[in-house]
Amino acid sequence: MPLWKQILLCLVVVLLAAGGWYFYQQRDSSGGALVGAGGQGGGGGGQPRFGPTFVVTDAVTSDVEKDQVRSVGTVKVPRSINLYPQVSAVVTEVLFKAGDKVAKDQPLVRLDDQDQRVALDLANVALKDAKSALDRAQKLADSRNLSVSALEDAQSGYRKAQIAVLGAQIALDRRTISAPFEGVVGLSNLSEGDFVTSSTVVTTVDDVSTMLVSFPVPERYSGRLAEGLAVKATPASQANTSIAGKVTSIDTRVDPAARTLKVEASLDAAAAAAAGVKPGMSVVVTLDFEGEKRLAISALSIQWDRNGSYIWTVKDDVAKRVPVNVLERQSGQVLVAGEGLSEGDRVVVEGLQRLRDGAKVTELGIDPGGNRAAAGADKSESGAGNAPATVAKGG
């Protein structure tokens, strides 16, 4: 084919493409759907005309903005100790097993105490003799047959005998290792016949009547933290379990390295025990901070382009493009801020594809009470090729 024919053919193709593009733009700018004007039973098709774009709208509402903080914390209890003996001796009896709930002063381990019992008996005998000597001295002193110094010596001897009994009793009591408070005991490697010293760990005792969780919070929230603030804790072992709690204490200093503030919260002990939470476990702590009241719109109404997010509002059957800033995404709705947008405005949620600024629109599915009504299901052949949000009138 000669070169001039190739050039001519290219020009024709370009002109056809430009004409099609121009026709498409003109049709979109009119904001309407192409509607056939042919009557029923007629053989000839009427001339097409342009009409308003059919859209579905929703009202702008309001909701409170929520700022949520999630932090990994560590579970602990208010009292948790390693139990040590006060003396070195041989174990004669172990009175607990791991996991037992024990009361305060309940005996857990008994050590060999034969020598201490003998010493206590001797001290009691000496106390009895000292008491008898003091009674005799008192009678003699009353009859003025005993000097004052001798009476004082008898009184001193009796007091020393009392102290000796007390010392022997303390030494005997130290041969029994008891729980210092009510709680749950842990594992132990002790058995009868073991020799323990003051550095031997007998067992652990945890006060599980209250569960605490310690977690860091970013410093920017320090001014919004307060005692009594509700929290939720989710253990790593049970992601679907949520344990309620509240903030009980807030540290007075911010960690300069991590820029976080240490916070402690108490958890529901019964719920934590049911979820299998133990001291030392990690949990995800969630705090919800109430924010300002914001405008809320359907998530379907948000559109994006190179300039950012925007929506289409409808007033007096005219579409208007309104730029918005997305503040927070919630379930099914979005909190936004936009100039000229107010509560009660109508925003387009369906039929967005063919809208242009200033285009005429018709709202579908809104009854006088503000509820969405069912739209007509029948569509003509002339509307089958339009976008989903555009509805054509049937013949």
Q: Using CB atoms within 10 A of its CB, is residue 392 exposed (0-12), middle (13-18) or buried (19+)?
A: buried
Cα–Cα dist 395/385, whole Å: 16
Residue 183 to residues 105, 237, 275, 297, Cα–Cα distance (Å): 11, 24, 18, 53
Cα angle: 143, vertex 147, 150; to 5 degrees: 115
Q: What pLDDT is attached to residue 112?
A: 95
Q: In what order do the strands lie in the sheet with 203-206?
A: 80-83, 203-206, 183-185, 101-102
Q: Are 181 and 102 in contact (CB under 8 A)?
A: no
How many CA atoms are closer than 13 Å to the CA of 393, on its beta-carbon side? Answer: 16
> What domains sit in the chain, N to C, each tagged with a CATH number?
53-65+293-383 (2.40.420.20), 69-79+206-291 (2.40.30.170), 113-174 (1.10.287)
Q: What pLDDT is attached to residue 35?
A: 38
Q: Where are the beta strands (DSSP E) in 243-281?
A: 243-255, 260-267
Q: Are 54 and 33 in contact (CB under 8 A)?
A: yes
Q: What pLDDT is attached to residue 40?
A: 39
Q: Are 243 and 232 in contact (CB under 8 A)?
A: yes
Amino acid residing at 169: Q
Q: Residue 58: what are its φ and ψ, rounded to 5°? A: -140, 155
Cα–Cα dist 230/246, whole Å: 4
Q: Are 165 and 120 in contact (CB under 8 A)?
A: yes
Fill in the DSSP letter of residue 113: -
Strands 53-59 and 361-363: parallel
Q: Residue 139: what are its φ and ψ, rounded to 5°? A: -65, -45
Q: Using CB atoms within 10 A of its CB, is residue 177 exposed (0-12), middle (13-18) or buried (19+)?
A: buried
Cα–Cα dist 59/349, whole Å: 10
Distance between start and end Cα atoms, the chain = 50
Chunked into runs of 10 residues, the chain (395 residues) has average pLDDT values of 78 83 62 39 42 87 83 93 94 93 94 94 94 90 83 91 95 95 92 93 92 93 90 88 93 93 93 89 90 86 90 90 88 86 90 85 63 39 36 33
Q: What pLDDT is attached to residue 39?
A: 39
